[in-house]
Amino acid sequence: MADENKETAQAEGKKNKLIIFIIAGVIALLLIIGGVVVYFMLSSNPEPQAASAQASQSTSGGAKAGGASRSGGGNFLSVGPMYALDQFIVNLTTQSGRRYLKTSINVELSQPNLTAELDTKRAVIRDTVISILSSKSIEEISTMKGKEKLKEELIERLNEFLVDGRIVNLFFTDFVVQ
C-alpha cells in the first residue's frame, strides 16, 4: 500500500512538472509570435522604401521631361520663393462619405513676380485644388507614393492657369485624414 502511494505521488509530481513545462512553452511561444508580429508591423511601412526609391531616381537623373517637378527628393538647399495657399478641408470619396482631408499647401514659384498672378487667380486655384482633392479616396492618398502622385497632379493642373511663371514644387505643410 505504501508503494502504491509513493508511485501515485511520483506520477502526480511528474504530471505537475509536465503541465508547468507545457504552460511555460505556450507562454514562450506566444511571446515569440507577438514579437514577430510587432516587428513585421513596424518594418512593413512602405513609405520609407518609396521615398528612398524616389530619392535615388532623382539623384540618378530621373527628372521629368521639361523639369515640371522635383518633388520627392529634390535639391532643397536652393528653394525658390514660396507662396502659401489657404487651408483646405474636403470630403474624400468613400462609400460611407465620412472621411475628410484637412491640408495646408505651400507652392514653390519659379519667379518672385508670380505672386501677383497667384493673388489674382486665387479663386480659380482654390477651386482646382478642391476639385482634385475631393476626387481622391483615402486609399489613393494614404501612401507616400499616392501623395507624390497627388503633388504632381496638382502642380500640372495649377501650371495650366499660369502665364508669368510656373509652380516648381508643392509642399503639404499639414495633412490630416479623419
Tens digit of each residue's pLDDT (9 = 90 or more) over 82-128: 999 989 999 888 777 688 899 999 999 999 899 999 999 999 999 99
If asked whether residues 89 and 171 sit together in one domain, one would say: yes
| More confident: 42 or 58 | 42
Q: Looking at 60-143, list the stretches that DSSP marks H as alpha helix, in order from N- to C-terminal side.
A: 114-120, 122-134, 138-141
Q: What is the mean pLDDT of the chain?
A: 80
Q: Which residues contact 158 (CB under 8 A, 6 or more apart)?
A: 107, 125, 128, 129, 167
If asked whether residues 148 and 99 sit together in one domain, one would say: yes
- CA dist., res. 34 & res. 105, Å (int): 40
What is the residue range of 13's domain? Answer: 1-44
All cell numbers assigned to 178: 479623419
If asked whether residues 36 and 86 sit together in one domain, one would say: no
Q: Is residue 50 part of a domain?
A: no
If asked whether residues 35 and 85 sit together in one domain, one would say: no
Q: Is residue 55 part of a domain?
A: no
CATH number of the domain where residue 84 is located: 3.30.479.30
If asked whether residues 37 and 86 sit together in one domain, one would say: no
Q: Is residue 123 part of a domain?
A: yes
If asked whether residues 29 and 85 sit together in one domain, one would say: no
Q: What is the pLDDT of residues 17-30, one digit of tens each?
A: 889 999 999 999 99
- CA dist., res. 88 & res. 97, Å (int): 17
Number of domains in the chain: 2
Q: What is the pTM of this model?
A: 0.57
If asked whether residues 26 and 101 sit together in one domain, one would say: no
Instruction: Determine what percent of the chain falls in helix, strand and coil, rounding each to the nearest 5.
Output: 55, 15, 30
If asked whether residues 164 and 88 sit together in one domain, one would say: yes
Owner of C-alpha cell 487667380: 121
